[in-house]
Amino acid sequence: MRVGIEVGGTFTDIVAVDGSRVEVAKVPSTPHSPDIGAYAAIGAAGLDVGAIADLVHGSTVATNAILERKGARVAFVTTSGFRDILFLQRHDRRNIYDLRYAKPAPPVARRDCFVVAERIDAAGNVILPLDEAAIGRDLLPALAAGGYDAVAICLLSAYAAPAHEQRLEALIAAALPGLRIACSHVVAREFREYERAATTTLSAYVQPVIDRYLDRFEATLARAGFRGHFSVMQSNGGRLPATAMRQTAITALFSGPAAGVVGAIRQAARSDRGNLITFDMGGTSTDVSLVVDGAASLAPETEIDGLPIRTPVLDIVSVGAGGGSLVWIDDGGMLRVGPRSAGAVPGPACYGLGGTEPTVTDAHLVRGTIRADAFLGGTMKLDADRAHAAFAPIAARLGTDVAGAAAAAIRLTVANIVRAMQLVSTERGRDPRDYVLLPFGGAGPLLAAEIAEELGVPEILVPPNPGVISALGLLSADYVKIAGVTRRMKLDDTAPAGLRESFAIFQAQAEGEFRAMGLHGALDFTLSADMRFVGQAFEIPVEIDPGLLPRLTAADLAERFTAAHRRVYFHGGEPGRRVEIVGLRLGVRRRLEALPAFREHPTALSPPASVPVRVGSATVAARMIAAAALPPGMAVTGPALVEGYSSSLWVPPRWSARRDEQGNIIMRGTAA
């Protein structure tokens, strides 16, 4: 049995595959201790823990630890003269007209920042040896007295030569064996000191939190008889064994959104759709990604709470527009949706758990696109009266009725999501009309048609059980490791040889690491070079097929760079201008066997023939159809509501829906 468990802000989802049998379930998340909700999901699906051979997990534990500033007590150690690098940051200003603007606060206080005497230059040459005597006299006693859980080491130019970091790590480990240590040459072996220091510090900040969480969850599983393989999802769209994640927890920061994209790609491929705009609308946010030819783009860096994280992540744009996003009116009298969320506790007003403020979920209940007695297949009852009461103050401020206020909130939510989709499509030279819209998450299919109309997207693909696609993505994810390293070289006749040498070293290291993790079998490798014109401040990734390395020439590299530059900036640069390579991104993948077909989860509900739904200023009778009862080939014309266990699909007027042989529902607009 293979099981994927994804912990979201509002619900924890599970997908279990045992031969041809597929089980799905959703349970409320438990923010105070997410492992409780994760284990509860196993019980809700009726699984025998001892029968689970492969368990894949994705959670928001690391993300929440940073956002809520509930990470470990960390010490930061760097080269003498660079103590304040985490506070100086970059000389940018996010809000130039904000007189109270303050830079993002790092997760360590200045009193917890220490320096050591040493210096290595950018070429890896030792300028000043590591002063071990001063370390024993000053640093080690300070660390011992500080009560720290972890230490982050980021020495100048350690990306070029890590010897001093390695020696400092050994000295600290010998003197303080219980202290967790994160080194920059392991976490982010790339230049740009501030980004490398911030990433290493955040990794140390969340590592003890992740360790404790995994310890609790693994202990609970072991007591229940679990003896299988346990792995954790990464932000790059691949998984790694949980033991490997204990060194680089920062790579699991956005595991949930990444898993959703992987699951969406996998399901769309069954229907031969490879160019996608995916959007995962869950309880707290909507995550949008662009997929080209069946592959999502990787971004070399992301940020959280204003702090940079230099680790490969799937290129995902998030907006605070989820089912639990609060609907409110600002001081200027304008209607707003998000970014604050009701979350799992207290949740939307209609949950009856203490929430009183209106949310997007309440708006759908008022509009009629969610039925109060059919939420999660009827296992969770909603309170329509509470939803109406929550929207009453909004309606009074707007001078409309409650249904009109709810409809306005939904229109604004659509606008917010459309804006996020434009960021990943039109603003990057991609026409959204050339892509298929793929909604998932508990709330995504309810807004898909309205979003597609705004973007001009002609086709929508809705997977079966869209509310648990992120959990499906966990099971679909291969084992992946991506290493970014700084390699400075001019684009001349020596560059291809330098690429071949670096790739050979990485290939040997990756094969050894995967064997050590018990991951045997064939491995696939990828290579991209970060390239730029000499004098530019930023670079663009250029994909290189490792199979072409033996015959690669400098002219080939120049041609690939020009094409990539033209795709991003719409021009190929000045003829004859010098080009350089500043870094390499090397990936290794261990592929897993394909999963069986994913089918709609049946429910015991018998929906009515129709339900009233607010469309514009009118109320229409929408045909009701159980998602599990919709056979392949059957066409449904709007207005209609296709109701499933994990999510429902709204088919507005002038739209039609048809399930294909792969279990996906294909929606297209029709003539007015």
Strand 113-116 relative to strand 74-79, pairing = parallel
The pLDDT score that the predictor gives to residue 671 is 54
CA proximity to 116, closest of 167, 68, 71: 167
Rounded CA-CA distance 357/350 in Å is 10
Rounded CA-CA distance 114/315 in Å is 35
The pLDDT score that the predictor gives to residue 672 is 42
Q: What is the DSSP letter of 488?
A: E
Tens digit of each residue's pLDDT (9 = 90 or more) over 59-70: 878 887 887 788
Q: 3-class DSSP state for residue 234?
A: coil
CA proximity to 160, closest of 122, 202, 117, 126: 122
How buried is 46 (Cβ within 10 angstroms: 0-12 exposed, 13-18 middle, 19+ buried)? exposed
Rounded CA-CA distance 170/178 in Å is 13
Residue whose entry in the numeric block shows the structure tokens 């898909």: 448
Distances (CA, A) of 301 to 188, 195, 196, 307, 320: 10, 9, 11, 11, 20
Instruction: Kindly list the averaged pLDDT for each block of 10 residues, start to end, along the chain of length 672.
Output: 89 89 87 87 92 91 82 96 95 82 92 97 95 96 95 96 97 95 93 95 92 91 94 92 82 88 94 94 87 89 87 86 90 89 86 92 94 87 94 94 94 92 85 94 93 94 94 93 91 94 93 91 94 91 93 94 87 86 94 87 84 89 92 92 92 94 92 48
Q: 3-class DSSP state for residue 248?
A: coil
Pair of tokens at residue 6: 């994804």
Rounded CA-CA distance 51/603 in Å is 25
Of 3.30.1490, 1.10.10, 3.40.50, 3.10.620, the CATH number of 479-590 is 3.30.1490
Q: Domain 2-66+210-252 falls in which CATH fold?
A: Nucleotidyltransferase; domain 5 (3.30.420)
Dihedral sign (CA 343, 348, 351, 354): positive
Dihedral sign (CA 506, 252, 179, 78): positive
Pair of tokens at residue 63: 């993300």
Rounded CA-CA distance 183/188 in Å is 8
Rounded CA-CA distance 636/634 in Å is 7
Which residues are bridge partners to 275 per DSSP? Answer: none
Work out the number of other CB atoms within 10 angstroms of the CB of residue 571.
9
Q: Distance of alpha carbon 483 from its chain centroid, rounded?
A: 18
Rounded CA-CA distance 493/157 in Å is 27
First to last CA, the chain: 48
The pLDDT score that the predictor gives to residue 32 is 80
Rounded CA-CA distance 260/235 in Å is 11
Rounded CA-CA distance 509/373 in Å is 55
Rounded CA-CA distance 286/10 in Å is 13
Contact 411/386 with Cβ under 8 angstroms?
Answer: no
Contact 624/643 with Cβ under 8 angstroms?
Answer: yes
The pLDDT score that the predictor gives to residue 168 is 98
Q: What's the full length of the chain, in residues?
A: 672
Burial pattern 157-172, b for ≥16 Cβ within 10 A else e, equals bbbbbbbbbeebbebb
Contact 26/12 with Cβ under 8 angstroms?
Answer: yes
Amino acid letter, 91: H
Interhelix angle for 193-223 vs 34-44, to 10°? 50
Which residues are bridge partners to 153 per DSSP? Answer: 77, 183
CA trace torsion 317, 319, 324, 327 (10° rounding): -170
- 294 Ramachandran zone, left/alpha/beta (phi>0; psi -120 to 50): left
Q: What is the DSSP letter of 5?
A: E
Contact 76/259 with Cβ under 8 angstroms?
Answer: no
How buried is 633 (Cβ within 10 angstroms: 0-12 exposed, 13-18 middle, 19+ buried)? exposed
Cα-atom radius of gyration of the chain, to the nearest Å? 26
Residue whose entry in the numeric block shows the structure tokens 């993300």: 63
Rounded CA-CA distance 161/79 in Å is 14
DSSP string, 118-183: -EE-TTS-EEE---HHHIIIIIHHHHHHTT-SEEEEE-TTTTT--HHHHHHHHHHHHH-TT-EEEE
Contact 40/174 with Cβ under 8 angstroms?
Answer: no
CA proximity to 241, closest of 65, 64, 54: 54
Rounded CA-CA distance 650/669 in Å is 13
DSSP string, 285-303: -EEEEEEETTEEPEES-EE
For the chain, give every residue range classified as CATH 3.30.420.40. 2-66+210-252
Which residues are bridge partners to 279 per DSSP? Answer: 288, 439
CA proximity to 266, closest of 593, 574, 510, 39: 593
